[in-house]
């Protein structure tokens, strides 16, 4: 856990040289024991809130708390949907050549590829529907990421079809 030591409005950090009462302390001297013996207040810094969901102050306050502002849920939802669509497109692009080949030559698309592509589209559609239902930041945080399907080898060129 991150900490700092507070004395007369000044912050001091472990292993950071400092001067106090005209005495210079080295990096090795900037220990918990030294700060405690000088009567400094130890301040435990709360974990930094997730920047994906909050605008966070640059430094914690003198109590170790971060000042935060919730990000706009509407914008987070738009960004999440756009990201899901981009991820789905990237996943589908790996097997697009099967579809193009089918259109150009009539060669069959392997069943596993068709099923995988349908699963990617269904995952994106289901995720987008869940995003649309979100109304609060806490709901958005709990939403998480899409659970994209795994594929064995969609780009594997079939030996014969």
Domain boundaries of the chain, sorted by first residue? 3-70, 73-143
Phi, psi of 69 (to 5 degrees): -135, 130
- At 133 the pLDDT is 98
Q: Is the pLDDT of residue 73 over 60?
A: yes
What gap in Å lies between CA 41 and CA 29, rounded to an integer?
17
What pLDDT is recorded for position 93?
97
**Predicted TM-score of the model (pTM):** 0.76
Percent of the chain with pLDDT over 70: 94
Q: Which residue has the tokens 């005209």?
A: 22
Residue 155's pLDDT band (cuts 50, 70, 90): low
Q: Give the mean model confidence (pLDDT) for residues 108-123.
A: 97
């Amino acid at each position: 856990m991150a900490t700092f030591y507070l004395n007369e409005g000044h912050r001091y950090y472990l292993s950071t040289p400092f001067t106090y009462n005209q005495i210079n302390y080295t990096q090795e001297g900037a220990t918990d024991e030294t700060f405690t013996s000088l009567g400094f207040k130890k301040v435990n810094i709360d974990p930094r809130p997730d920047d994906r969901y909050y605008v966070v102050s640059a430094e914690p306050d003198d109590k170790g708390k971060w000042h935060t502002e919730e990000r706009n849920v509407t914008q987070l939802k738009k960004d999440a949907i756009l990201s899901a669509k981009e991820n789905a497109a990237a996943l589908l692009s790996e097997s697009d050549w099967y579809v193009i080949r089918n259109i150009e030559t009539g060669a069959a698309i392997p069943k596993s590829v068709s099923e995988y592509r349908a699963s990617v589209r269904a995952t994106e559609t289901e995720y987008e529907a869940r995003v649309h239902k979100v109304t609060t930041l806490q709901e958005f945080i709990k939403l998480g990421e899409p659970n994209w399907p795994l594929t064995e080898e969609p780009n594997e060129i079939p030996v014969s079809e």
